[in-house]
Amino acid sequence: MKRFLCVLSIVFLTAGASSLTAEFADTLNIYIMDCSGPMNLLVVPDSMGVEYETTPAFELLNSILTLNSYSSPVAGEWMLDSVSVDVGTELPSLDAYDIIFLTTGWPSSGGRVLAEWELDSLISFIDPPEAPVRGKPRGLFIEGNDFAYNHGDTSALHSTYHPIFDYLACLLLDTAGPHFTILRGVTGSLAEGLDDIIYYGTEDTGPRESVDDIDINPESPAAPYASLVFTGVESKSPARGMQRRSFPPLHKDTEFMVGATVYLPFIFGNIDNSSPSNIKLYLMARILNFLIPPRVKMDTTSLPDTFYIGGRYPLTCFKHDNFEGATFFLSVSYDSMSTLDTIATSYSGPDEAVFTVDFIPDATTDNLFFQLSGRDIVGNNVEKIYGPFVVTIPTGIETPQPDKVELSAYPNPFNQTVIIRTGNGETVSVYNVEGKLVAKIPTDGSTARWTPKDLPAGVYIARMDGNGRTLKLLFLR
């Protein structure tokens, strides 16, 4: 096995980063399994239109490493992860890898049919029975229409089928013309906007229809997801057309995801890279971004089980995507996730892997939840939910009773003086969020006026002496 290591990458973590941050900073480990055969040689043009001889595996490798070495975004996508790539012809132990690229070829080129145990191993790789060793979702890319012909054709001429096809999201050739020669980036597809990806100068050999004849196995656990992938043909896997899907849901009852797959039933290396220039890099960027979704985690080690109204609590959130452009949201719910309010938005970038938000609870509840989510530019979504937590009034301040006289204040929030209406002339006591008495205000009839002096801005609690009715005041400077 020959090993290639790309070190020209953007490093976004600084020395001394916390362990939570570091787990998102691992090098993206890729294995290219070349089963296309030693005689599967391609002649394709470079970005200047000059033809050169190459192989399917080399074109994958070259695109990945070139993309990772760019110092500027490709099609608005800037790769943030460093990349390590292994290339071989046999299936190794897969625990050390995040993405597998599989090239296939016809027997006339020396290509080989994968063994049943190899196909089963690839399914276990993308849909493991337990959380992956590296702790993040995995991706599988397969190219070559012969893969469908050998392992998934259920036409009249063949009856082969392997459940791996239930997991496949597809990039397929357009049906226009006598041969399938153009990949079209239709709206909503993985290659949206990358129109007219030309399949360069090869003979139209081998079966071209076998992909259409693959039926989903309805008994497969992945079948409900696969049936949502293919436009207009819910029973087929895959159907003719240009498709994509978001990352599948969480695996069984655990917190890790089923891996994503992409199937390209032609050779990636045969894409004409001369017009438009760098179209291979654009497509590879989309594929890599699709295969690894954003990752998020909130540091809950310093959070209390009980929050107090008006208190200030820093929420530390860790986020990462392998490409720039992902958006992350922190939301809060006071009613067991029935409603959500977004309290912070952040983005993936080379210099920021952590964002911190000061949370100030403003209502009592026994069902406080936080949701941390991320969405990348190819439509992958990820979310984690934390809770339940309790929010209560600070110690020393009585809980208001519904049958007591109303208490109100205007303006609230205020930046100088607040007028507190008591309704019955009671004296008003004001406490800070720690329950310490900071002011005692006599009333003039049914109102009290309070002008804080030498007190910091923040939340205060007003309480009517005698009946214990309370009201939150927000003092701004």
Return all residues near 121 (Cβ < 8 A) that are at least 6 apart. 91, 94
Residue 384 binned pLDDT confidence (cut-offs 50, 70, 90): confident
* 258 and 280 co-located in one domain: yes
Residue 242 binned pLDDT confidence (cut-offs 50, 70, 90): very low
Here the CATH number for the domain that contains residue 331 is 2.60.40.730
* 99 and 134 co-located in one domain: yes
* 373 and 432 co-located in one domain: no
Mind giving me the DSSP string for 200-212?
-S----S-SSGGG
* 49 and 165 co-located in one domain: yes
Say whether pLDDT at 21 is over 50.
no
pTM, entire model: 0.71
Looking at the domain assignment, is residue 397 inside a domain? no
The whole-chain average pLDDT of the chain stands at 75
Say whether pLDDT at 13 is over 80.
no
Return all residues near 442 (Cβ < 8 A) that are at least 6 apart. 427, 448
Convert the pLDDT of each residue in 46-87 to its tens digit. Answer: 777 788 899 999 999 998 988 887 766 665 567 777 888 999
Here the CATH number for the domain that contains residue 428 is 2.60.40.1220
How far is 398 from 402, CA to CA, in rounded Å? 13
Say whether pLDDT at 346 is over 50.
yes
Q: Residue 328: left if φ>0, alpha if ψ -120 to 50, beta else—which one?
A: beta
* 377 and 426 co-located in one domain: no
Looking at the domain assignment, is residue 398 inside a domain? no
* 257 and 383 co-located in one domain: no
Q: What is residue 255's DSSP assignment?
A: S
Segments forming the whole domain that contains residue 452: 408-475
Q: Which residue has the higher pLDDT, 354 or 136?
A: 354
pLDDT of residue 370: 94
* 198 and 105 co-located in one domain: yes
Read off the pLDDT of each residue in 361-376 and give the average, rounded to a whole number: 89
Read off the pLDDT of each residue in 415-429 and give the average, rounded to a whole number: 79
Q: Which residue has the higher pLDDT, 73 or 205?
A: 73
Looking at the domain assignment, is residue 71 inside a domain? yes
Say whether pLDDT at 365 is over 50.
yes
pLDDT of residue 147: 85
Task: Compute how many other C-beta atoms are within 10 angstroms of the C-beta atom of residue 161.
Answer: 18
Contact 272, 321 (CB under 8 A): no
Say whether pLDDT at 320 is over 60.
yes
Structure tokens at 404: 């007591």
* 135 and 152 co-located in one domain: yes
Say whether pLDDT at 464 is over 50.
yes
Highest mean pLDDT (candidates 168-182, 210-224, 420-434, 441-455): 441-455
Convert the pLDDT of each residue in 468-477 to its tens digit. Answer: 677 888 887 6
Q: Which residue has the tokens 């409603």?
A: 339
pLDDT of residue 77: 64
* 311 and 286 co-located in one domain: no
Convert the pLDDT of each residue in 114-149 to its tens digit. Answer: 999 999 999 888 887 776 665 567 889 998 878 888
pLDDT of residue 59: 92
Q: Which residue has the tokens 């100030």?
A: 360
Residue 19 binned pLDDT confidence (cut-offs 50, 70, 90): very low
How many distinct structural domains can be found in the chain?
3
pLDDT of residue 1: 38
